[in-house]
């Protein structure tokens, strides 16, 4: 048990060395640290010695650490040695050894959802929709996601044998694992009107170089403008964001400032290289899932009046994390600072320092937001993400569409469709015919895609209250009549919402033939934010007026629903 005392003494000794030359005001802090470490170690010791049942000391310590960090913010976390590889894939690099395929779990069974083009699974003709029966002789049914992942992963060039089921037949596939590298830039190319497009999914290692390579390729076409798509991009490495801004902004310009309690964590990041495209008209797409490094890029380009931002209000994560190595190959990721865009605003939406009594955290109210000025004097806001210059109402899918997706009827029909149709039109042009859609309706004839509408939910509550008051018999006839009308109305939903159901179905089918690239290209047809970006980039006078705040154009509307319009 001297172990605990040694750990405590080591920590205190280190702190004494650090603070020895500083103000004596730290004495109380050092005493509290020593006191609390002593108490913690003593509790841990007494539990291990005296608790009535056997204790899993590792689990007990992990629970203690997690509980301690839960009082801070959701981004401060402890990572034990067993989770280091997964951590690196999420936050550092997405390269790993495996077969190159995504999977989904359904009722204890595992299906291939997305074979990656050019990797072992796709080369071995393993397809989306195939059910995995076994891996190297181990039956897969009932295994957890982590167990399946471990079986599929492994060093490059190691053999793996997978049995899949397709159309009722079992097929054995022998292949070799490879180094799988999921790119940060999942797609780049040219849109109508000679406009370039780059879809950046994450800010992991090499993301800035990938954006640069994509931009170099696009510039060969002498583009009229560029769309940088950061929707659903949850962020990543701050320095990569700075490099990406530098592609469009001159050197020695402040991109972001991080400020922490520790003076060493207060750092100003500036551009440091000659930009690749300093004058190319630029639109950045964001939505409510664009966070962290995405907001640094969008916010900085907005503050510097370098890009028009289109979409919805971004997530609002203005916190910076840093990892610190711990003993036994573990680490801790700690929020060390907040970041501020060039105008001086912080986009953090939630104040984790001041929690409610129940532990919940509130968003910053719009009325409490502060106004800042861009380089040319436009008004921008803090406290709740990046507000777009042009707000586009996000499309809300109806319940019927959500049910068809969540119950995998869309997924399964796409698999069935691909077995009947050897080829389809190019992804950008692919659309289902009316006959194809009718075939989908026929496919659903014996499927349960029922759902409860808000009206039905309200009626169920009404019936319960009526029964409680013993009044239901008085309204039963009218109640049953209304219920029947609602049922008939729901049956017509497949026709009523045909356009949006077709849209989702077409997208899933395109993936079967053209992989993730096809899914992206097929989605261009219905992408409202992208259409707004194309429209904006076709009007350079509008872009100039918005970015400079000149002429009859000004930013109007409440935060979160802002649009540039002519007065």
Show which residues are catalytic: 292, 303, 317
Q: Which two tokens stand for residue 130?
A: 């195939």
Long-range contacts formed by 546-555: CB under 8 A, 24+ apart:
546/308, 546/389, 547/305, 547/306, 547/307, 547/308, 547/376, 547/378, 548/305, 548/376, 549/376, 549/377, 549/378, 555/378, 555/379, 555/389
Mapped onto helix, strand or coil, the DSSP state of residue 181 is: strand
Closest CA to 237 of 258, 252, 217: 258
Asked if 269 and 211 count as a contact pair (C-beta separation under 8 A), the reply is: no
Rounded to whole angstroms, the Cα distance separating 545 from 394 reads: 25
Residues recorded for the chain: 567
Element (H, E) at 325: strand 319-326
- C-alpha to C-alpha distance for 127 and 163, rounded to whole angstroms: 12
Beta carbons of 491 and 405 less than 8 angstroms apart: no
DSSP label at 200? E
Q: How far apart are CA 385 and CA 349, in angstroms?
A: 6
Tokens 């076709």 sit at which residue?
Answer: 538
Which three-class secondary structure state does DSSP give residue 170? Answer: strand
Strands of 282-286's sheet in order across: 185-191, 195-200, 225-229, 282-286, 308-311, 390-391
CA distances from 179 to 94, 118, 192, 205 (A): 10, 12, 35, 16
Question: What DSSP string describes 88-148?
Answer: HHHHT--EEEE--EEEEEETTEEEEEEEPTTSHHHHTT--TTPEEEEETTEE-TT--HHHH
Instruction: Give the C-alpha separation, 412 to 129, whole Å.
Output: 7
- Name the strand (E) or helix (H) holding 9: helix 2-19
CA 410 to chain centroid: 22
Euclidean distance between CA atoms 448 and 438, whole angstroms: 17
CB 215 within 8 A of CB 222: no
Residue appearing with tokens 């992408």 = 527
The answer to whether 270 and 326 are in contact (CB under 8 A) is no
Alpha-carbon span 232 to 315, nearest angstrom: 10
User: By C-alpha distance, which of 245, 264, 232 is closest to 302?
Assistant: 245
- Count the neighbouring beta carbons within 10 Å of the beta carbon of residue 214: 23
């Amino acid at each position: 048990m001297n172990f605990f005392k040694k750990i405590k003494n080591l920590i205190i000794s280190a702190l004494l060395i650090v603070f020895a030359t500083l103000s004596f005001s730290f004495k109380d802090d050092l005493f509290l640290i020593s006191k609390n470490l002593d108490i913690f170690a003593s509790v841990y010791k007494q539990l291990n010695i005296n608790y009535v049942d056997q204790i899993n000391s590792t689990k007990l310590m992990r629970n203690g650490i997690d509980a301690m960090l839960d009082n801070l913010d959701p981004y401060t976390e402890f990572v034990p040695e067993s989770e280091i590889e997964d951590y690196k894939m999420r936050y550092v690099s997405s390269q790993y050894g495996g077969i190159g395929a995504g999977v989904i779990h359904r009722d204890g069974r595992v299906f291939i959802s997305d074979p990656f083009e050019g990797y072992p699974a796709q080369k071995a003709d393993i397809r989306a929709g195939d059910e995995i029966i076994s891996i190297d002789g181990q039956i897969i049914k009932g295994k957890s996601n982590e167990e399946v992942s471990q079986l599929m992963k492994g060093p490059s060039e190691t053999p793996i044998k997978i049995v899949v089921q397709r159309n009722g037949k079992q097929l054995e596939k022998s292949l070799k694992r490879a180094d799988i590298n999921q790119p940060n830039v999942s797609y780049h190319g040219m849109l109508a009107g000679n406009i370039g497009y780059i879809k950046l999914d994450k800010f992991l290692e090499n993301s800035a170089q990938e954006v640069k390579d994509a931009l170099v390729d696009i510039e060969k076409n002498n583009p009229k403008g560029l769309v940088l798509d950061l929707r659903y991009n949850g962020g990543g490495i701050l320095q990569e964001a700075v490099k990406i801004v530098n592609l469009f902004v001159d050197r020695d310009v402040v991109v972001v400032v991080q400020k922490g309690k520790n003076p060493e964590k207060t750092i100003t990041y500036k551009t440091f290289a000659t930009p690749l495209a300093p004058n190319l008209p630029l639109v950045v797409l964001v939505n409510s899932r664009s966070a962290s490094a995405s907001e640094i890029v969008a916010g900085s380009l907005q503050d510097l009046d370098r890009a028009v931002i289109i979409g919805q209000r971004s997530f609002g994560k203005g916190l910076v994390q840093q990892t610190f190595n711990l003993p036994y190959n573990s680490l801790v990721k700690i929020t060390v600072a907040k970041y501020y865009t060039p105008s001086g605003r912080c986009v953090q939406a939630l104040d984790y320092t001041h929690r409610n009594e129940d532990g919940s955290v509130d968003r910053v109210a719009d009325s409490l937001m502060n106004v800042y000025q861009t380089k040319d004097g436009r008004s921008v806001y803090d406290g709740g993400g990046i507000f777009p210059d042009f707000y586009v109402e996000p499309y809300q899918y109806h319940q019927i569409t959500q049910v068809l997706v969540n119950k995998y009827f869309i997924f399964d029909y796409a698999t069935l469709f691909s077995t009947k149709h050897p080829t389809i039109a190019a992804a950008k042009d692919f659309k289902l015919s009316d006959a194809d859609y009718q075939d989908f309706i026929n496919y659903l004839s014996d499927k349960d895609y029922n759902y409860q509408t808000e009206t039905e939910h309200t009626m169920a509550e009404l019936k319960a209250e009526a029964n409680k008051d013993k009044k239901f018999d008085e309204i039963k006839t009218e109640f049953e009549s209304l219920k029947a009308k609602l049922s008939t109305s729901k049956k017509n939903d497949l026709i009523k919402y045909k356009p949006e159901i077709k849209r989702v179905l077409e997208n899933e089918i395109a993936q079967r033939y053209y992989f993730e690239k096809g899914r992206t290209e097929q989605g261009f047809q219905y992408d409202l934010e992208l259409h707004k970006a194309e429209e904006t980039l076709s009007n350079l006078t509008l872009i100039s007026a918005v970015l400079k705040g000149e002429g009859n154009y000004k930013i109007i509307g409440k935060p979160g629903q802002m649009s540039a319009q002519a007065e």
